[in-house]
Amino acid sequence: MSKSTTDDPGPLLGAADIRELAAALGVRPTKQRGQNFVIDANTVRRIVRTAEVRPDDVVVEIGPGLGSLTLGLLEAADRVTAVEIDEVLAAALPSTVAARLPERADRFALVHRDAMHVTELPGPAPTALVANLPYNVAVPVLLHMLATFPTIDRTLVMVQSEVADRLAARPGNKVYGVPSVKANWYAEVKRAGAIGRNVFWPAPNVDSGLVSLVRRDKPIETSASRDEVFAVVDAAFAQRRKTLRAALSGWAGSAAAAEAALVAAGVSPQARGEALTVEEFARIAEHKGPGGTPGIRQSGGAHASGGEQA
């Protein structure tokens, strides 16, 4: 879209529209569900542009709220499916789409459900995920969607800035942890920009960041399953100040068994989890002895954030 038209919200929602809609529905944003509605059309267009949404994309959006981002996505994509847990917001969104983008209304679908429990979506398989994720559930929702819908090739999420840093962190970074490794299992992850507080209503107490995730062309090469790899990751960061020999002793069955697995994987037993790549975690998982039993819960694959999401 040309610069000359970016100040015109067109069918998108501005601050007055958002407040009017909220008042009509009796909606007051709740901290419990992390509701902060985007009230700036230029920010919406920037997100859609940064997400590189294409005319043939089938986009899934989590937590559409009053529809700010939904309308921007519908302008650019072939189809949009929005997943909304809030009953009032879910009921109102189709009417908002029909009123503001009537020519695209048949390209929109709504799923009224908790995103963490969504295992299938109506219509064609999604190719992209774009969402303003509630801060308190951002990491587990993101990992669940990437695990459940392997056709999602590109993802752009807006999350709390601190969470964005953790997702995009590289080994050796002080905030590198469970979210960093698990996201990297699925995708190449990077920060894709910052979002100020004044484009939201109500304005949050923290800054936001955009994170881009492009699914790997080829999965991590390993004979271990995702759950097995994630169990090593969870164990390593549950006691992140300890050496891996100590941190993985419960997972392996003993410190000696952990050391044997680490040596076999080519990883120093004195290293710490924050220094390892996802590929190294996968190698460790391959060398778990037959008698070992994990000392902490396994992640269940996609759902665990390891307590490090924020």
What number of other Cβ atoms are within 10 A of residue 102's Cβ?
A: 10
Strands 79-84 and 58-62: parallel
Query: How far, in Å, CA of 146 to CA of 150, rounded?
Result: 6
Handedness of CA 109, 110, 115, 120 (dihedral sign): negative
- Extract the tokens encoding 81: 């499916």
Q: What is the CA radius of gyration of the chain?
A: 21
Q: Is 212 exposed, middle or buried (0-12, 13-18, 19+ CB in 10 A)?
A: buried
Q: Is 106 exposed, middle or buried (0-12, 13-18, 19+ CB in 10 A)?
A: exposed
Instruction: Tell whether 188 is in a known binding site.
Output: no
Closest CA to 145 of 161, 130, 160: 130
Alpha carbon 153 to chain centroid, angstroms? 13
Locate tokens 């390993």: which residue? 222
Instruction: Tell whether 84 is in a known binding site.
Output: yes
- Extract the tokens encoding 55: 């005319």
Residues 6 or more apart in contact with residue 4 via CB below 8 angstroms: none
DSSP 8-state secondary structure symbol assigned to residue 236: H
With residues binned 3-state (H G I as helix, E B as strand, rest as coil), the percentages for the chain, rounded to 5, are 45, 15, 40
Instruction: Tell whether 63 is in a known binding site.
Output: yes
Residues 6 or more apart in contact with residue 73 via CB below 8 angstroms: 48, 53, 59, 61, 80, 130
Q: Which residues are annotated as a binding site?
A: 36, 38, 63, 84, 114, 132
Q: Which residues are annotated as a binding site for S-adenosyl-L-methionine?
A: 36, 38, 63, 84, 114, 132
